[in-house]
Amino acid sequence: MKKLSELLASKLGSNIFTGVVLLVASALIGAFVVPSYRQGEPAIAGRRAMDFSLDLNGKPAHLSDFRGQVVVLNFWFSSCPPCIAEIDSLNALQRKIAGRGGTVLGVSVDSDLGSYERFLRDHHVPFPNYHDTSQKIAWNYGTSVFPETYIIGADGRIARKLIGQQEWDSPDITSYIESLLPISK
């Protein structure tokens, strides 16, 4: 203990202590800035969702074509373990909200078309998906962690952003999404 106090009392010890304090402070600040910390990210709540064009079943479409519906916009790729883990609950959510004014809309950033198509087929994905090999849509939305999901209200505004794997059929999430649906049952 005496050696530690002597070290801290010395100029070198003082510099080391200052460096450690600055490192810890930087890590804490970084933790609050990193997107994965900002679950729900209130700063984007209420912003109009950025429109983009896509191709659904061979036909041109836009995100704005879904206006009037709640859209669960999910960015994913086929070899992403958390994306694989949440797909069954996304499928369940789609079955629950389809026909009630809601839809899940997937945007895959897979570079390989075969992997994308195999994933959809193997997991019996019932909701519309778009294969964005350019990754431009995810980039424009600021997606850096996969999966990442934006819940967009019927008015076209972002209600919430969720980062990482979710249990989409959990009571908390389904009741939240159902509260946004324009048609209640």
- Euclidean distance between CA atoms 87 and 122, whole angstroms: 11
**Residue ranges in the chain assigned as alpha helix (H):** 2-9, 11-33, 81-97, 113-122, 136-141, 171-180
- Euclidean distance between CA atoms 38 and 119, whole angstroms: 29
pLDDT at res. 33:
45
Cβ atoms of residues 136 and 130 within 8 Å:
no
pLDDT at res. 164:
96
Report the chain's C-alpha Rg in angstroms: 22
CA dihedral of 21, 24, 25, 26, whole degrees rounded to 10? 120
Cβ atoms of residues 115 and 80 within 8 Å:
no
pLDDT at res. 34:
45
State the chain's maximal CA–CA distance in angstroms: 75
Fill in the DSSP letter of residue 36: G
pLDDT at res. 35:
44
pLDDT at res. 131:
97
pLDDT at res. 43:
78
Q: Which residue has the tokens 């999901």?
A: 149
The pLDDT tens digits along the chain (185 residues) read: 566 556 555 655 556 666 665 665 555 555 444 444 345 555 789 999 999 999 998 899 999 999 999 999 999 999 999 999 999 999 999 999 999 999 999 999 999 999 999 999 999 999 999 999 999 999 999 998 999 999 999 999 999 999 999 999 999 999 999 999 986 55
Q: How far apart are the first and last CA of the chain?
A: 68
Domains of the chain: 2-33 (no CATH), 39-180 (3.40.30.10)
pLDDT at res. 26:
57
pTM metric for this prediction: 0.77
pLDDT at res. 182:
85
